[in-house]
Amino acid sequence: MKKIRKIGILTGGGDCPGLNAVIRAVVHTACRAGIAVVGIRDGYAGLIHKDVRPLALPEVSGILPLGGTILGTSNRDNPFQYAEPGAGGKVEHRDVSAQALKTIEYNEIDVLVTVGGDGTQIIANTFFEKHKLPVVGVPKTIDNDLNGTDVTFGFDTALNVATTAVDKLHSTAEAHHRVMVLEVMGRYAGWIALDAGLAGGGDVILVPEIPYRIEKVCDHIRDRAARGKRFSLVVVAEGAKPEGGQMVVARKVNDASDPIRLGGIAALVANQVEDLTGIESRYTILGHVQRGGSPTPYDRILASRFGYHAVEAAMAGKFGHLVGLRGNEIRTTPIQEAVAVPRRVKAGDDKVLVAKAVGTCFGS
């Protein structure tokens, strides 16, 4: 096996707390093994535009507790379908992967470590399969919807933010005898809503995987009122939808891999609840607050473990694999297998059953 002399690392897709902890662990681990590291800026955009810089110990000093990513990130620059302005102002997609590979060659990168969610890993795997590029994936997303790992770093931080929000809404809901609807992130997977709802004692949890009926939600809120509970807390994932209905789309853009911007389900639910029950209702959209700021200790540790093991996997020649947590051990899984199906909430999941057992309604 060819000796590894240089690792390239990029962070792709939406950012999440813990990315810097991964970068730091990769640089430290590689340094000890005599391997140089270069950072590619703004995800795959840096490969396309030759934006690469050396990363040594001084560059990663002090970054462990920082949110965001010192490398920058992007969720629009797929080298296999790169969006460029075409004739008549129309966006055209081109394959610029050869350009990206030239950057790898020019910088003498032996292994590319791709830190990202499913979009980033699908691109990494295409490079691996089509061009035999040695890649090692590190899973990240606050949505926690990647297979190949029990949990992604970033999720715990987002969950803490969301649970704090539920707790804060609890006291004001109770004081004013209102229904408070909290919209959290999660386009196709409702893990943040489910876990924050469970941790914060949400009375209603609405997730994309379990379509709801607003009548059921209102019945539950009325039942609570009849029992003297004159307030209710609803935690709704941005991608939740009513039975037979659609997700609430805030706007569509044409230069991103996922052109849909979600947002607004909380307003819809709050207004419907107020109209149908007569109980005053308010809504809060948590948005990107969930993605920003310093990672929790759990995320710092998990991200550091992933970074260390990504370098170990590279040295062991485990290319085309993703590091992940299984139980309390770090294992690798072929990226292909990890991205084949997303990890979604199931109606029979233990957490759903527990939430129901403690009186939470899923609107179904």
Query: Could you give the residue numbers annotated as active site?
Result: 143
Q: Given the complex with ligand F6P, which of 55 and 235 has the nearer CB atom? A: 235
Asked if 329 and 137 touch (Cβ cutoff 8 Å), the reply is no
Q: Given the complex with ligand F6P, which of 238 and 299 has the nearer CB atom? A: 238
CA 106/CA 193 separation, integer angstroms: 45
Nearest distance from residue 269's CB to ligand F6P, in Å? 17
Q: Given the complex with ligand F6P, which of 133 and 184 has the nearer CB atom? A: 184
CA 156/CA 137 separation, integer angstroms: 20
Nearest distance from residue 244's CB to ligand F6P, in Å? 22
Total residues found in the chain within this entry: 364
Q: What are residue 252's DSSP bridge partners? A: 260
Nearest distance from residue 284's CB to ligand F6P, in Å? 16
Contacts of residue 127, defined as CB under 8 A and 6 or more positions apart, other chains included, come to 79, 97, 100, 101, 112, 133, 135
Look-up: residue for tokens 């950057």?
103
Beta strand segments in 108-166, E: 111-116, 135-139
Nearest distance from residue 2's CB to ligand F6P, in Å? 35
Q: Given the complex with ligand F6P, which of 117 and 324 has the nearer CB atom? A: 117
Asked if 41 and 85 touch (Cβ cutoff 8 Å), the reply is no
Residues within the interface to ligand F6P (CB under 6 A): 14, 75, 117, 141-143, 185-187, 238, 262, 291
Asked if 135 and 101 touch (Cβ cutoff 8 Å), the reply is no
Residue 339 corresponds to which amino acid? Answer: V
Nearest distance from residue 44's CB to ligand F6P, in Å? 15
Q: Given the complex with ligand F6P, which of 75 and 103 has the nearer CB atom? A: 75
Closest by Cα among 325, 278, 320 to 306: 325
